[in-house]
Amino acid sequence: MKVITSIEEMQTISKSIKRDGKTIGFVPTMGYLHEGHLSLVRASKKDCDITVVSIFVNPIQFGPKEDLSKYPRDFERDKNMLEKEGVDYIFYPKVQEMYHSDFSSTIIVEGVTKNLCGASRPGHFRGVTTVVGKLFNIVMPDKAYFGEKDFQQLVTIKKMVRDLNFPVEIVGMPIVREDDGLAMSSRNSYLSEEERKSALCLYKSILLAKDMIKSGIKDVKLIIKGIEELVNNTPNTRIDYIKICDPETLEYIEEGDIDGKKLLALAVFVGSTRLIDNVILEG
Ligand code: AMP
């Protein structure tokens, strides 16, 4: 496994892999890896000849009051984990390598970025699409792997690729959870013991919604009310959003019964840590 820090070197390597007729699978991450990330790596290893993982905490997707400076980092640990998985290249650029001092071009995907996290975190998806677009130009992957954990991100990247004709196939992978159901996230490391218990309210919300539908309660308002009660009765929590929406357009469904496949998406602050989760509900 080789660690590459230069954009030029990564591009040279990717071109030579392609010249040899081999396929490149790509897993973009912000590091502090867990089994969720590794599930993407394993899918890439299975599908593609060469697997590239990027580790880059992308400053432009963090808001001014967000956790950029304290975002967890441990490159040596990540490197060991990726080496064990048989990854071929880690792309690990410095911020100055990715954003030169007069950097001024961005990619904006409209529509699907308007709601959910796009509404709570202005500028976040512009940061995500810009860095992912850059990484696609640097790594030149045939396939790129993203988790459904960040459902809106996945929808947004698929839209960007289709709208702007990036020659890459986007593969979405299911959410990997801890044994008790908490969706794995690098940010879970922020949680105190008490908060870790409270964090389970996100998964419990998903189970509650599924149970309600199973018992014949499909009304969107009732389901959201049930979840609000559950979360509000959990210590250390503050709801950012609880929404049911169309899984393709991410437009909110505010009333009526759940009919067909709909996305339930939640963002909840547990202490000062903002956690997200989602599920496709079937009415
Ligand atoms: P991050 O390092 O948080 O930017 O995540 C990198 C990639 O891993 C994204 O595509 C995430 O959606 C994905 N990912 C993060 N957590 C999980 C999880 N629990 N299950 C599946 N994929 C995940």
At 1-45, the pLDDT tens digits run 999 999 999 999 999 999 999 999 999 999 999 999 999 999 999
| Ligand 1 center to 170 CA (angstroms) | 14
Task: Please check whether residue 52 is in contact with residue 88, taking contact to mean a CB–CB distance below 8 angstroms.
Answer: yes
Mean pLDDT, rounded, for 147-153 = 98
Cα–Cα distance, 67 to 59 (Å, whole number): 10
Task: Please check whether residue 182 is in contact with residue 202, taking contact to mean a CB–CB distance below 8 angstroms.
Answer: yes
The residues, ordered by sequence, that sit 6+ positions from 26 with a Cβ below 8 Å of its Cβ are 44, 51, 52, 53, 54, 135, 136, 139, 141, 143, 144, 145, 168
Q: Is 43 in the pocket of ligand 1 (CB under 6 A)?
A: no
Helix residue ranges, H only, 150-281: 151-164, 193-198, 201-214, 220-232
Task: Please check whether residue 32 is in contact with residue 70, taking contact to mean a CB–CB distance below 8 angstroms.
Answer: no
CA angle at 153 for the pair 217 and 104, rounded to the nearest 5°:
150
Mean pLDDT, rounded, for 258-267 = 97
Mutation test of ligand 1: which of 27, 32, 35, 37 has the most ligand atoms closer than 8 Å to its C-beta? 37
Is 100 an active-site residue?
Answer: no
Which residue intervals of the chain bear CATH 3.40.50.620? 2-173
Cα–Cα distance, 2 to 186 (Å, whole number): 24
Cα–Cα distance, 275 to 181 (Å, whole number): 13
| Ligand 1 center to 282 CA (angstroms) | 24
Supply the pLDDT for residue 104.
98
Residue-wise pLDDT for 205-222, tens only, equals 999 999 999 999 999 999
Q: Is 44 in the pocket of ligand 1 (CB under 6 A)?
A: no
Which residue intervals of the chain bear CATH 3.30.1300.10? 186-282
Scanning the structure block, which residue is given the tokens 């389970």? 200
Residue-wise pLDDT for 168-203, tens only, equals 999 999 999 999 999 999 999 999 999 999 999 999
Nearest-atom index, ligand 1, CA of 28: 6
Supply the pLDDT for residue 251.
98
The CATH code of domain 2-173 reads 3.40.50.620
Phi/psi at 240 (5° precision): -90, -60
The CATH code of domain 186-282 reads 3.30.1300.10
Q: What percent of the chain has pLDDT over 90?
A: 100
